Amino acid sequence: MSALVVGLKGAAATVRGLDRPWLVLAILFAVLAASEPKQALESARFTADAFLGIAPFLAVSVALAAGLKAAGADNLIRATMGRSILGVIVLSAAAGTFSPFCSCGVVPLIAALLAAGMPVPAVMAFWLSSPIMDPEMFVLMWAALGLKFTVAKTVAAFGLGIGGGLATLALRRAGLFADPLRVGAGSGCGSCGGGTPASADVHWAFWREPERRAMFGAEAWAVGWFLVKWLLLAFAIESLMVAWLPGDMIAAHLGGGVGGAIPLAVVFGVPAYLNGYAAIPLVGELMAMGMAPGAALAFLVAGGVTSLPAAMAVFALVRPSLFLWYLALALVGSLIIGYAYQGWVVL
């Protein structure tokens, strides 16, 4: 009996020692394997494909985040941010609009910028605008949905970034979001961190100094490991949403008229995770079925900003108040963009 108790205590300690994402992922696939073995295989395949697809972007963004930390770029950022915060918000929104990073790949950069001292309003401007548009998506959308709609989505990305940045600035001046990262998150999304090297100078060729090389390696490992576990869990959950919330169901509810289509498009856009390239043919089909252009744009914006993998990584990275504010900006902003574009099209 005592051996059983000891064994149970040991098992409980092992479970408590596991990272929550790995634990939930293991439980999820165990339940699927027992109840829906075919779906378990499909989910495993979907998760692997999705992760391999995002891996190149993830690797680049992790390397950039670790490089910023190792180079001591926080000193440069603090010096730059001490100037015009309004100008920095505009520049951040523009950088996000035309950056090549997807909503997942930009997360480690966000962590690095916050830890380096970049003001939350400027980070929010970049954060909101980056997932909505990138150069490759612009070309693909132009070919599939036309230049007018593509330019509208680009303007929406820039406008949402500026609007979200200014709204965050107002709350920041009221005393909110003074400490945006979760306890222990650091710049490495959960790394033990450590500060930048003692020198206050920025050393872009950080690989020439052993101390900075070591910092780069530690930061890259911490950032990468953090994102791998959360993204794998998010993609696994997404696979179930794709299976149980298919595109034809969305099309059936959003395929006609204006009415309440724009709020409904935002509601569907949040969990559907049909943003980016996968959403382009679906939106083309919906518009051919009579979906209002404003609802189509709202659907794309909401789905892009609140994509499940990025949102889960964000939730693990920042404090709940900032995460909820991020979601509120995305949802309200998507509604405003949808109605504004619909009104412009009608006129």
Residues 212-268: pLDDT tens digits? 888 888 888 887 887 788 778 877 877 887 777 665 666 566 655 555 778 888 877
**Is 157 within the bounds of a domain?**
yes
Q: Report the alpha-carbon distance of residue 347 to residue 341 in Å, rounded.
A: 10
Q: Which residue has the tokens 């395949």?
A: 45
Highest mean pLDDT range out of 72-86, 201-215, 281-295? 201-215
pLDDT category at 148 given cuts 50, 70, 90 is very high
- Please give the residue range of the domain that contains residue 46: 20-346
pLDDT category at 295 given cuts 50, 70, 90 is confident
pLDDT > 90 fraction of the chain, expressed in percent and rounded: 18
pLDDT > 70 fraction of the chain, expressed in percent and rounded: 71
**Is 121 within the bounds of a domain?**
yes
- 107: closest CA among 130, 75, 133? 130
pTM comes to: 0.68
User: Are the C-beta atoms of 118 and 91 separated by less than 8 Å?
Assistant: no
- The reported pLDDT for the residue numbered 33 is 93
**Is 281 within the bounds of a domain?**
yes
Average pLDDT score over residue span 78-106: 74
Question: CA of 161: how far to CAs of 75, 94, 128, 176, in Å?
Answer: 24, 8, 5, 19
- The reported pLDDT for the residue numbered 194 is 44
* 17-64 pLDDT tens trace: 457 778 888 999 999 999 999 999 999 998 898 888 878 877 877 787
Highest mean pLDDT range out of 60-74, 169-183, 277-291? 169-183
Q: Between these two residues, 7 and 324, which has the higher pLDDT value?
A: 324
**Is 243 within the bounds of a domain?**
yes
CA angle 194/83/97 to nearest 5° reads 80
Name which of 161-175, 192-206, 333-347 the model is least confident about: 192-206
Q: Where does the chain have alpha helices with state H?
A: 2-17, 20-35, 37-71, 73-81, 85-98, 107-115, 120-129, 135-145, 147-173, 210-244, 247-254, 261-272, 279-288, 293-305, 308-317, 320-346
**Is 54 within the bounds of a domain?**
yes
**Is 1 within the bounds of a domain?**
no
- The reported pLDDT for the residue numbered 35 is 93
**Is 300 within the bounds of a domain?**
yes
Q: What are phi and psi of 181, to 5 degrees?
A: -80, 150
Q: What are phi and psi of 36, to 5 degrees?
A: -135, 75
Number of structural domains found in the chain: 1
**Is 5 within the bounds of a domain?**
no
- 331: closest CA among 269, 286, 276? 269
